[in-house]
Amino acid sequence: MTSDMPELILRNFFTNEEFMRRVVPFMDPSYFDGVNKELFIQFAKYVAAYNGIPSLASFRISLSESESMTETQYTQAQELLPTLFDPDNDTELQWLLDQTEKYCQDKALFNAVMESISIIDGKHKTLGKGALPDILSKALGVSFDTNIGHSYLDDAESRYEFYHKVEERVPFDLDYLNKITKGGLPNKSLNVVMAGTGAGKSLFMCHNAAGSLSQGKDVLYITMEMSEERIAERIDANLLDVPLDQIEKLAKEVFVNKVSQISAKTQGSLIIKEYPTGQAHSGHFRALLNELKLKKKFVPDIIFIDYLNICSSSRIKGLSGGVNTYSLVKSIAEEIRGLAVEFDVPIVTATQTTRSGYSSSDPGLEDTSESFGLPATADLMLALVANDELDKLGQVMVKQLKNRYNDPSVHKRFVLGIDRSKMKLFDVEEAELGLIDDTPDVPVFDKTPSGKKLNTNGFQM
């Protein structure tokens, strides 16, 4: 780390307004030491208060009013000030920006390592070892992002190119799911399937995990409800095309041969990781992803989390201290979506319906269990509806509740074939799709007494 850099940075803060405005928002006092740190703190306070660079005289006064500086630091600062207010006209701006960014990255990493050592030694007052991945990842993520937004008028050309850019997506192996998502799930997204107990949440995720693997994708499946082996068993039923209760009856040679055939047909991998119910949060998942990349060179194309409501939050410690389920589940959803953005992948998870939603043939967002904060955060939210009539037909109804990728009123409701014994979903014939009415302009009323009356007597204006 160059010893001259802190003074060079400070000098340009005091004399180069363009440099100052581009860099100060990204600076942290911890990037400086001793008197330089105190000078930066006082400078940042002045800029925040007056939105400009101080004069030598005004800054001397600011320093004299500082309560945090020692007498020695104050004396050193007064000696440095004439040098800091001497304009640096010979340094090229872009070089200075690049070197300042590198200095800050090195300093942030050094600080993170030192803080990590204090945690490992048990000397840190507040943080435990679970904070280490987050501390290091933040330090490694230090950068000067100079993009200050999209100019609607000036950036029309780049916006047009964005409209015609083919976005990277992970496709489904089901036509209607691809139709409603414009070809699959985009990266940096949180996608939620909602259903009652036994309606097919885990089946939906296991089928799509198997479908992604068959398409050559690298898949991470995180489970907190069933063991790793039980999830693998369900994916076996899907990919081997064998009923769940018959898998254990297969001869070992036959089973291994079938798995080998699957392996030969795909370039993808599938990792299944189990955590105790309610004990894992986004911090654990982040550490797992970093460990998989380091040890196995495994970087997933899509992540399945089974399921969101039985995760914990890294920010909120359970339902204590006045915390309610709305805040807790919303926090979990935000953290998991943040993980999807950080690792540039789509994440698929599930949630339960409320008690009333479990018996409803037309669930809505209001039937989301525990927290309406979840649908507020999700990019795509689908409801699975199962009843005796659909079970007899071997079908499950899918209803779009929220869709940021497409118009949710188009194909709002549709059916998929379901084979629960083999943990499979499949497309059905067009004639069977017609059994579901997804016409956008026909309202469905079943949430209120008056709505039930309208459904019975016909819609009347």
Question: Is 374 a residue whose pLDDT tops 60?
Answer: yes
What does the block give as tokens for 83? 């040098």
On the CB side of 58, how many CA atoms lie within 13 Å of its CA? 11
Rounded Cα gap, residues 131 and 451, in angstroms:
51
CB 323 within 8 A of CB 377: no
Write the DSSP assignment of 201-247 as a string of letters: HHHHHHHHHHHHHHTT--EEEEESSS-HHHHHHHHHHHHHT--GGGG
Rounded Cα gap, residues 375 and 341, in angstroms:
17
Torsion of CA 47, 53, 57, 61, to 10 degrees: 10
If pLDDT is split at 50, 70 and 90, which confidence band does 295 have? confident
Beta-carbon neighbour count of residue 137 at 10 Å? Answer: 15
Arithmetic mean of pLDDT, 293-322: 84
Q: What is the pLDDT of residue 67?
A: 82
Encode pLDDT of 114-169 as tens digits: 989 988 988 888 777 777 877 887 887 787 766 667 888 888 998 888 888 777 89
Type of residue at 307: Y
Arithmetic mean of pLDDT, 202-214: 95
Q: Give the H or E element holding residue 339.
A: helix 325-343
CB 109 within 8 A of CB 139: yes
DSSP letter assigned to residue 353: B
CB 423 within 8 A of CB 206: yes
Q: What is the pLDDT of residue 444?
A: 46
Q: Is 180 helix (H, G, I), strand (E, B) or coil?
A: helix
**Chain mean pLDDT for the chain:** 86
Rounded Cα gap, residues 77 and 461, in angstroms:
78
What does the block give as tokens for 255? 């089973």
User: pTM score, two decimals?
Assistant: 0.66
> In the chain, what is the greatest distance between 2 CA atoms, to the nearest angstrom?
88
Arithmetic mean of pLDDT, 228-245: 94
Task: Please name the residue that has the structure tokens 């800050």.
Answer: 104
Rounded Cα gap, residues 351 and 170, in angstroms:
21
If pLDDT is split at 50, 70 and 90, which confidence band does 346 have? very high
Q: Torsions phi, psi of 41, nearest 5?
A: -60, -45
Question: Is 185 a residue whose pLDDT tops 90?
Answer: yes
Encode pLDDT of 215-226 as tens digits: 999 999 999 989
CB 394 within 8 A of CB 418: yes
Write the DSSP assignment of 46-66 as a string of letters: HHHHHSSPPPHHHHHHHHHT-
Beta-carbon neighbour count of residue 146 at 10 Å? Answer: 10
User: Cis before residue 307, ω within 30 degrees of 0?
Assistant: yes
Q: What is the pLDDT of residue 443?
A: 47
Q: What is the pLDDT of residue 359?
A: 64
Q: Is 251 exposed, middle or buried (0-12, 13-18, 19+ CB in 10 A)?
A: exposed
What does the block give as tokens for 320? 């204590």
User: Using CA of residue 28, residue 30, residue 31, residue 35, what is the dihedral sign?
Assistant: positive
Can you give the length of the chain in residues? Answer: 461
What CATH number matches the domain at 169-457, 3.40.50.720, 3.30.300.30, 3.40.50.300, 3.50.50.60?
3.40.50.300
What does the block give as tokens for 384? 């699975």
Rounded Cα gap, residues 257 and 267, in angstroms:
17
Task: Please name the residue that has the structure tokens 């004990």.
Answer: 279
What does the block give as tokens for 228? 């790793």
Q: Is 398 helix (H, G, I), strand (E, B) or coil?
A: strand
Rounded Cα gap, residues 30 and 103, in angstroms:
12
Q: What is the pLDDT of residue 445?
A: 42
